[in-house]
Amino acid sequence: MAGEHLDEDLHKNLSAFLNSSPDCILVCDASSLQYLYVNQTTCDMTGYSRDELLSMTAPELTQQAPAAVRETYGRARQAGLVGYTDEPRLMVNKGRSRRGWWEAHFRYQELDGRGVIVIVSREVTRRVLAERAADRTKRIYAALSATNEAIIRSSSREELFQAVCDAAIDSGGMTTAAILMPRPGSDLMEMKAMAGYGREVLMETVISIKPDRPEGRGLNGTAFRTCKPAVSNDYFKDRRTGPWHQQMRSRTLLKAVASVPILLNGKAIGTLHLCSREKNAFDEEIVGLLVRMAENIAFALQSFEREQVRREAEDRAHYLATHCSLTGLPNRNLLTDLLDQAIASVNRTGHNPALMFVDLDNFKQINDTWGHDAGDRVLEQMAGRLRCVLREHDVLARLGGDEFVVLVQNIDRREHAQRVAEKLLAAAQDPVQVDGQPLVVTLSIGASLYPHHGENQRALMKAADLAMYQAKDNGRNTWALAGQDSHWNSE
């Protein structure tokens, strides 16, 4: 008798037990998909009355296609006594005032020959959001790692910027990533690199850094001015983003936006602009990671600047080591290298090089009479004149003092050398004007020709130097060929 009384009490209170459950409990006909039973928690959570729910089918309540519901129920039947747990699903109540993630467990039962599905569904919104936040953080860590790798591999600002944007999309899970910087001489920002969705829209978007313009009070302008991140986790409800709402309405993937300043020496030079398809995508931890990403970009830019300074210093040192500081012409070191190269390429090109030593007559007298500054002006002007009468591929060098050397890349006969020498002599015919004072300068030129006067640069330079002194002995303002041998005189 006591056991029968206990069974009667259990059956009597079963409904109360089910209604007190924090989970939604439903029983659905496996064939018609009509609900046969719902507990009070289901009514409370969905906003529907019991009568309304019992008049509804599962596709109507869950907003799923009937085929999808039947597929889920089929899996539950195959699972037997274990049942089947579906992936969490976002649900909205009747008045659309409440939404959350629910995870349902389905189990197939036979009741009086009738197949039914017993559904126990519980809210897992906190768990889903925590998992999504953890996943976002994991992706941003991956993007940060990819950015660091890009810093190592990139050789220019442009390459780095694009690699960072690609990492934010490919590894970080963002929908749009861009790096914006102020346009020179303007308050408007322009896109330096971009990856992801909406390139055309972003390129047409007006973004300013001035606070007195509506387009300057948005996230990018604010981040740039304040040197602090600016975040909107619900883009279309944020007043700061108002100027772009209409333009961005078609971008259904845009839910949340973050703009992080890129700081160089404490001053903003641009912003890292990121968009997400999820609201509330940018929590404090993720924003902190994005700040680190921007800091790494700045570090790479500083490294690029240091490398640029180093290269410029190296180039400058090389230039000073190979060029005359007064005239900018190649010096003896560079001339020697170029002459060696010309000799080495004779068999390949068939072009025989020639050297012409050019000395300014009576230059010491100009220095002594008018001073070294006047002498320097004379050297500069004569360098310009001589360069103008030579071919582009010929080389004019200055050895020092008043000595210039011309490397002519192709001389086949004496007449060719004579024409070049006469052009050089003619370049000095007109007086050189220094501070309004005409100074008469003439030239003495000595020429040596490969291979007749030497088969290496040392021999050719010595022969040309001796020929130049021969020209001076011949009365100056003239030229002489090394050796004046019979071969060249017969040409």
For the segment 90-147, what is each residue's pLDDT rounded down to a tens digit? 888 888 888 888 999 999 999 888 999 999 999 998 888 888 777 777 877 777 777 7
Does 12 score more than 70 pLDDT?
no
Cis peptide before 451 (omega within 30 of 0): yes
Does 1 score more than 60 pLDDT?
no
CB 39 within 8 A of CB 138: no
pLDDT band at 3 (very low <50, low <70, confident <90, very high): very low
pLDDT band at 489 (very low <50, low <70, confident <90, very high): very low
Q: Residue 485: what pLDDT? A: 46
Domains of the chain, each with CATH number or no CATH: 17-123 (3.30.450.20), 129-307 (3.30.450.40), 332-489 (3.30.70.270)
Q: Residue 336: what pLDDT? A: 93
Which has the higher per-residue pLDDT, 8 or 240?
240
What percent of the chain is predicted at pLDDT more than 90? 55
pLDDT tens digits, residue range 412-449? Answer: 678 888 999 999 999 999 999 888 889 889 999 999 99
Length of the chain in terms of residues written: 491
Does 77 score more than 90 pLDDT?
yes
Does 49 score more than 90 pLDDT?
yes
Query: How far apart (Å, rounded) are the C-alpha atoms in residues 352 and 413?
Result: 10
Mean residue pLDDT across the chain: 88
> Mean per-residue pLDDT for 215-227?
95
Segment among 342-346, 348-352, 485-489 with least mean pLDDT: 485-489
pLDDT band at 348 (very low <50, low <70, confident <90, very high): confident
Q: How big is the chain by its Cα radius of gyration, in Å?
A: 43
Q: Are strands 403-408 and 354-360 parallel, antiparallel or unpaired?
A: antiparallel
Q: Residue 260: what pLDDT? A: 95
Q: Residue 252: what pLDDT? A: 63
> Mean per-residue pLDDT for 351-375?
90
Query: How far apart (Å, rounded) are the C-alpha atoms in residues 344 and 356?
Result: 19
Question: Side chain identity at 60, as an amino acid letter?
Answer: E
φ/ψ (deg, to 5) at 431: -60, 150
pLDDT band at 11 (very low <50, low <70, confident <90, very high): low
243: number of Cβ within 10 Å: 19
Bridge partner list, 452? none
Tokens of 167: 């990492």
Tokens of 473: 């002995």
Does 150 score more than 80 pLDDT?
no
Q: Residue 90: what pLDDT? A: 87
What percent of the chain is predicted at pLDDT more than 70? 95
Checking 87-94 for CB contacts under 8 A at 24+ apart, the result is 88/124, 88/127, 88/128, 89/62, 91/46, 91/62, 93/45, 93/46, 93/47, 94/46, 94/47, 94/48
Tokens of 465: 């130097």
Query: How far apart (Å, rounded) are the C-alpha atoms in residues 354 and 424?
Result: 14
> Mean per-residue pLDDT for 275-280?
88
> Mean per-residue pLDDT for 44-65?
93
Q: How far is CA 304 from CA 147, 256, 273, 283, 322, in A?
A: 15, 32, 22, 32, 26
Q: Residue 120: what pLDDT? A: 95
Q: Residue 6: what pLDDT? A: 46
Query: How far apart (Å, rounded) are the C-alpha atoms in residues 270 and 179?
Result: 7
Q: Residue 267: what pLDDT? A: 94
Q: Residue 330: what pLDDT? A: 94
Query: How far apart (Å, rounded) are the C-alpha atoms in residues 302 and 296?
Result: 10
Tokens of 277: 């398809």
Q: Residue 487: what pLDDT? A: 40
Q: Residue 84: what pLDDT? A: 93
For the chain, report the end-to-end CA distance as a whole number of angstroms.
143
> Mean per-residue pLDDT for 213-242?
94
Query: How far apart (Å, rounded) are the C-alpha atoms in residues 252 and 263?
Result: 31
DSSP per position, 113-148: TEEEEEEEEEE-HHHHHHHHHHHHHHHHHHHHHHHH
